[in-house]
Amino acid sequence: MNSFNFNRFGQTLRWVLATNFRKLLAWTIGAALMVFMGEMFIVGLNGMNDHPNPVQMLWDFADIGSALMTLVVVIMVCSVVSSINDKRKRETFLMLQS
């Protein structure tokens, strides 16, 4: 832990975001659309009349949306890290770490 450097971490994070910007953007847009469609699907199944209180309905949608977005973020991070399997990207990534 003595060799951890915040400046180097920031540079590495900036490099990962710049390298995978389009993939991250596509995942973010896709996740937002899928959460929206999932919530509309739930409204279509249950209808608006099943919730006696509109505030409770919003809390339910927020819970579902948060769970789905958490799942998508975990998958997105895994897909970014798995792209380091390419030898050229791995060498570039390791050069940043030294």
pTM: 0.57
Angle 84-17-29 from CA coordinates, rounded to 5° = 105
The predicted-structure confidence for 46-93, as pLDDT tens digits, reads as follows 666 666 777 877 888 888 888 888 888 888 777 767 666 677 776 776
The average confidence (pLDDT) of the chain is: 77
Task: Write down the pLDDT at residue 84.
Answer: 66
Task: Write down the pLDDT at residue 19.
Answer: 79
Give every CB contact of residue 65 below 8 A, 6+ residues apart in sequence. Answer: 35, 39
Tokens of 46: 């249950």
First-to-final CA distance of the chain: 15
Residue 21 has pLDDT above 80, yes or no: yes
In the chain, % of residues over pLDDT 90? 0
Tokens of 83: 């792209």
Angle 68-69-73 from CA coordinates, rounded to 5° = 120
Positive or negative, the CA dihedral 18, 92, 23, 81 is: negative
Task: Write down the pLDDT at residue 38.
Answer: 79
